[in-house]
Chains A and B, each alone.
Chain A
Amino acid sequence: MQRIRRSRGILIISVLFITLLVSMFVGAALELGPWSLRRALNQSDVSAAKRAARSGVEYALARLKNDVNWNGPSFNQPRQVVVNTPELVVVEDQGNVIGLVRNENQVAQFRIRFNYQDGAGNADGRPDSGLPIATSYLSCNHVTGSTERLVPRADGPNYSVPANPTTHVSLPGHSLFLTVEGRCGDYLRVADAQNPDPQPGFGSYSTARLESLLKVTNVGQAATPAVAATANSFTATLPTGSNSVKLDSADKTEIGRLRSKSGLTINNGAANNLTAHKSGEYRVGGTLAATPSSTVTSGTEVAGEGLYKIAWDDVKRAVPTTTNTLKAGTYVYWDDGSLHYYDMSPSDYQTFMANPVNHSNAGTLMTVSNLPASVRTSTSGSGSSLNAKLEILSDTAIEATANTSDFAIMPRKGAAGGPGAPGSATISLTPTQMATALLSPNNPMVNNISGNWNMSAELSRTLYAANGGQSSWQVGGNVFNNLGQPAAQASVQNVLALSQVATALISYMQSNPQNQDVVAVVNALGGTITGGAGLQDDIPAVPASAAEPKNITLEFNPTGTSAVLSGPGEVRIGAKLQGEGASITAEGDINLLGLGVNMSALANSTEGVSLYSKQDVFISTFEKPTNKYKDVSLKGVVYCWGDFKAVLGSSSVTNFGDWGKLKITGAMVAYGQDPQLDYDPNSPPSKGNIDVTAEEVELKFDSAYLLDLVQAASLPPSEKIQYGRVWWTQE
């Protein structure tokens, strides 16, 4: 019996051993076979899901090329089937985007969610999408925003964004955050444009999530980006022996570039008077008369390539309302801080005040009752201790009157454009030539009828000044009356004696070579002005007036994010100019006279412009009492159809430390003509010059200010915004 038991035991052990052996083989085979193949197939699905997520990013960026505000689709647009082809289907519905990418028998899906899915009109201001996406991760288009923005997590019921959400990511200005979910599985084979997001059911599927933060790196217009671009020449005058025109860029992917269709001239300065903070480039269509440092390279200025086009219609301007309209005219702060309005242009006011009889004319006293709500005046002190401020609180539109469309603000004694430098300028006309020109029948300065002259206002004022401020002048039988007035007259009976008048005129002109009237008279008589250091007072001093431009401030202090001052004519500021979110747009010249400028536009949208003129921009920061120049700091786009000129120094101020510094962050363009017109190298505009005199010039490119300006300008298709990847994660 003992043997029987042992034999059967061996049998059982043998059977168990063999069963175990077979099971191990079978298990290994099962492990190696179908499952490994299944893993390969699963890997294919995962890869397809990742590629779908990547496709979602590509799709979003392509959509943004067409609409910088796109957020699937643009705000409150109805559902759109944007693409419906056998290979690709994309449906957008109230901020949710679902795409299907077909590749033979494999269907992958990408999903992008902008909608908060928190009900209609709540935090995102849009109704829920008809294609809700069950994910906590949202995308956010913050391309046109300039400040930080928080992207919430959708952790509320049904993946809604709760009232007090947690923050998923913080976005810097001008950036785009995309969370794209990719999926791939058999259940997607039934998906189509009508049902792009079927429920997965019980089948397995693969997912991938791609998060990317992209920041705007450049406004890729057809025009090569540049911090300063001129349709004509660029000229800078620096102190002898030191300093430079320094190029810089706020964009890591762009360099500070200076483009000039004509010449590039930098007078004086250091041995290398064209430098770069890191790296820069100059492109000159004409002659280079500057010494670049090794960090500034030479580029090719393509003859037919245009400059940035920013059309007038695409620039934000104040829309006149009952509460923001300011009458055109001249606004003058008196020594007691009262604000007086004269319904006349600054030039007419200059003529008006040239007559001492008018010095006491108080115009219209401006107070809270007759100023628009968008403007506020405040004052303290008086005379040389006056501290007067005119604040622009919101968009303010200057409205033309019957007399003028120009706007000016200044102290009673006016604002000096510069110290002047007697004898330093050369007038190309001799006294005889000038007399002959004045007698010429084609002379636009004089309407000569048998020796009886009706003079232009410019000649009248120039003669008045040349005559030492006397309105009557008798020279050798020639009698001039009402000088300084717009309608001065003369009886010219002795032509030979007219050269004596011309001699006095030329003497005055040499001392005041950049006075606007002088320039007008010389140009009209066919002469030219060479040299000269700066402007004399724009407005003759009014007796008993002590307040200077430094005592007055025009400050942009917007109650919202920005404020724009828009005018149909010239805008002349004879005061300190400062503020953030500030913008001045004018159909005439913009003249900033008298004191420093420190203003910045918003780095976004159409508010990126700080100064925009359909004509010229002129800045002079001479402080007459101290014989010094102040600095200018402008952030934003400075754009003019004509010339840009900044006088922050002159040869008559020999201490270079008393010169002002010019710093522009953004871009400046002297287009030279209406930007609706293309630049034509065969017919270049006569304007479009940039001319700067300063202790130091720093030009820093920042495309952020150009964004929507470019986007809105109905640009050619090749012009586009570029995005740089900040970070990129994939799960």
Chain B
Amino acid sequence: VVDSRITRRSAFTLAEVLLALALVTIVLLSVVGLALNAMSAMSKSVDVSAGLNVAEQEIERLAYDAENAPTAAFWTFSNQVNTYSTGQVVVGASRFSTATYVTDVADSGGNFVVAGKRLKQVKAVVVWSDAGADGKKAGKGTLRATAARLVHEP
């Protein structure tokens, strides 16, 4: 008798078990939510990297074209507000809208704006939606990446 009492006392009641299960469920759901957020952040970081790569490629493409065409309009263009060029780049499921800006570098001697010796600052701005090009991906909004560097007239 004594042994059976002891055994019953040591067991969990149904309420205790249900409470424990509820707690475990809450904790697990929270953790799963955290993991989903993490995966979303990772996906976003991949997108950011892709956007940054697109921006850099835009600059390199622009610089390459300009360096190989001394008479290109690139060398006489300078505008901080208006774009030099715009375009669309599709990488995987993402569609990137690109815009480039070309401005003169104004140095103290004014040498960088002289034909043949020009130095330009090129900036690429890339905008895209993380919903993906086909809209199927669960997106949360518009993303943006920029890159800038100098290009000298060869």
Contacts and interface: CB of A to CB of B under 8 A. Distances in A.
Interface of A: 1, 3-4, 7-8, 18, 21-22, 25-26, 28-34, 36-37, 39-41, 43-44, 47-48, 51-52, 54-55, 58-59, 61-62, 65-66, 80-85, 87-88, 90, 101, 103-104, 106, 716-720, 722
A3 B7 contact: yes
Report the 4 A-B pairs with minimum CB-CB distance, sorted nearest first.
Answer: A33-B38, A40-B45, A32-B38, A25-B31
10 contacts: A4-B6, A22-B27, A29-B37, A32-B38, A36-B45, A37-B41, A65-B153, A66-B111, A80-B108, A717-B115
A3 B152 contact: no
B41 A32 contact: yes
Contact of A31 (B38, B109, B121): B38
A3 B4 CA distance: 10
Of B39, B114, B117, the most chain A CB neighbours within 10 A belong to B117
B32 A25 contact: yes
B135 to A, nearest CB: 23
B97 interface: no
Contact of B38 (A36, A47, A84, A718): A36
B151 interface: yes
A553 to B, nearest CB: 45
SS class, residues of chain A in contact with chain B: helix
Given A59-B152, A87-B121, A720-B117, A44 B42 contact: no
B105 to A, nearest CB: 6
B58 interface: no
Nearest to A106: B146
A717 B152 CA distance: 14
B133 interface: no
B152 A65 contact: yes
Interface of B: 3, 6-7, 10-11, 24, 27-28, 31-32, 34-35, 37-39, 41-42, 44-46, 48-49, 52, 56, 59, 103, 105-109, 111-112, 114-119, 121, 123, 145-154
B56 A47 contact: yes
A103 B123 CA distance: 8
A43 B148 contact: no
B35 A25 contact: yes
B106 A83 contact: yes
Contact of A34 (B41, B121, B145): B41
B117 A722 contact: no
Contacts of B32: 25
Nearest to B101: A87
B35 A28 contact: yes
Contact of A83 (B27, B49, B108, B149): B108
Given A66-B117, A717-B114, A103 B42 contact: no
B107 A83 contact: yes
Contacts of B116: 65, 716-720
A39 B24 CA distance: 32
B67 to A, nearest CB: 10
A101 B38 contact: no
A103 B41 contact: no
Contact of B118 (A25, A62, A716): A62
A80 B39 CA distance: 50
Contacts of A33: 34, 37-38, 41-42
B36 to A, nearest CB: 9
A40 B7 CA distance: 57
A65 to B, nearest CB: 4
Contact of B117 (A7, A32, A65, A101): A65
Contact of B149 (A1, A40, A44, A54): A54
Of A29, A30, A37, A52, the most chain B CB neighbours within 10 A belong to A29
Nearest to A26: B31
Contacts of A29: 31, 34-35, 37-38
B44 A37 contact: yes
Nearest to A87: B121
A103 B31 contact: no
B61 to A, nearest CB: 14
A85 B115 contact: no
A61 B120 CA distance: 12
Given A32-B35, A36-B42, A101-B148, 16 more contacts: A25-B34, A26-B31, A28-B38, A37-B41, A37-B44, A44-B52, A47-B52, A47-B147, A51-B147, A59-B119, A65-B152, A87-B148, A88-B105, A88-B121, A717-B114, A720-B116
A59 B37 contact: no
A65 B119 CA distance: 10
Contact of A58 (B45, B115, B150): B150
Given A43-B52, A85-B105, A3 B117 contact: no
A58 B10 CA distance: 79
A608 to B, nearest CB: 22
A348 B143 CA distance: 88
A32 to B, nearest CB: 3
Contacts of A47: 52, 56, 147
Of A62, A717, A718, the most chain B CB neighbours within 10 A belong to A62
A722 B151 contact: no
A66 B111 CA distance: 7
B28 A22 contact: yes
A32 B42 contact: yes
Contacts of B24: 18
Nearest to B4: A3
Contacts of B109: 66, 82
Contact of A40 (B27, B48, B118): B48
Given A7-B11, A33-B41, A34-B41, A55 B31 contact: no
A717 B37 CA distance: 58
A62 B149 contact: no
Contacts of B37: 29, 33
